Amino acid sequence: MAAIIADYRARGVDHGDVLSLLLAARDEDGRPLAERELADQVATLVLAGAETTSSALAWSLRLVAEHPEVERKLHAELDAGPAGEPARWQHLAQLPYTAQVVSEALRLYPPAWAVSRTTTRPLELGGARLPAGALVVCCLYLLQRRPELFPDPTRFDPDRFAPGAVHRDAYLPFGLGATRCPGDRFGTVEATLALATIAGRWRLRPAAEGPVRPQPRLVLSPGPQPMTPTDRINGPAG
């Protein structure tokens, strides 16, 4: 982190990115971010957006491979859009179903599978009286599988994320409110474009039979996922 920050400072150029904005930021007294604050911000951006997005992508690819009808609809959209080329920002409008696949994978297997909050005042929650300063843990993995929020909750169905179909307060892979993850849009777009790029070129199949057991570590990971690729454009891979 220190090397990245030092390189930006030495160049003295506005790269039009987040780090340039952080270096230029000033508080109400005109002071820049302290070195520790700056390093923490950069570390969060680098670390929080790596394993979380890769986990969401791994789940998406696995779920698509296990659901032929979803795969057909996904491939049809991709063949009419980027058509085997790397998907870019300008292709997003052509990829609504691809984005729905990612959203549904995040519902079933949210990378941040549990979040904690601290009460700021005494309150009653679920019949329990909580004092100020109490730690409340919410398991998003369970919440997003409640049948009253998502009918047939264990079924992988990207169509449930058609525009306007899901109440925003029932879908919390990035949290909600003032502490909502600031990278929610970035992460979703990144995963959507990566899925479109991979699935547009390759058809993937699990190399081993049997269900995947989620690994509830810091991120809800599927673990190693060996997949056998077939080139959709040029035929079987070598």
pLDDT digits (tens, 9 = 90+) for 134-171: 999 989 999 999 999 999 999 999 999 988 777 677 88
Residues 70/101, Cβ–Cβ less than 8 Å: yes
pLDDT at position 238 = 43
Burial class (CB in 10 A: 0-12, 13-18, 19+), 5: middle
Kind and range of the H or E run holding 10: helix 2-11
pLDDT at position 192 = 96
pLDDT over 80 at 71, yes or no: yes
Q: Which two tokens stand for residue 155?
A: 């079924």
Q: Tell me the whole-structure pTM to 2 decimals.
A: 0.82
pLDDT, tens digit (0-9, with 9 covering 90-100), for 107-117: 999 998 998 88
Spans of all domains in the chain: 49-236
Q: Please tell me whether residue 230 adopts helix, strand or coil conformation.
A: strand
Strands 215-216 and 114-118: unpaired
Residues 186/52, Cβ–Cβ less than 8 Å: no
Q: How confident is the model at residue 236 (pLDDT cuts 50, 70, 90)?
A: low
Cα 177 to Cα 44, 169, 181: the distances in Å are: 19, 10, 9
Report how far residue 129's alpha carbon sits from residue 145's, in angstroms, rounded to the nearest whole number.
26
pLDDT, tens digit (0-9, with 9 covering 90-100), for 83-103: 778 999 999 999 999 999 999
pLDDT, tens digit (0-9, with 9 covering 90-100), for 176-195: 877 787 778 888 999 999 99
The DSSP-derived string for 40-99 is HHHHHHHHHTTHHHHHHHHHHHHHHHH-HHHHHHHHHHHHHTTTTSPP-GGGGGG-HHHH
Residues 201/231, Cβ–Cβ less than 8 Å: yes
Residues 42/19, Cβ–Cβ less than 8 Å: yes
pLDDT at position 76 = 95
Burial class (CB in 10 A: 0-12, 13-18, 19+), 145: middle
CATH pick for 49-236 out of 1.10.630.10, 1.10.1660.10, 1.10.10.10, 1.10.510.10:
1.10.630.10
Report how far residue 197's alpha carbon sits from residue 209's, in angstroms, rounded to the nearest whole number.
25
Residue 92, beta-bridge partner list? none
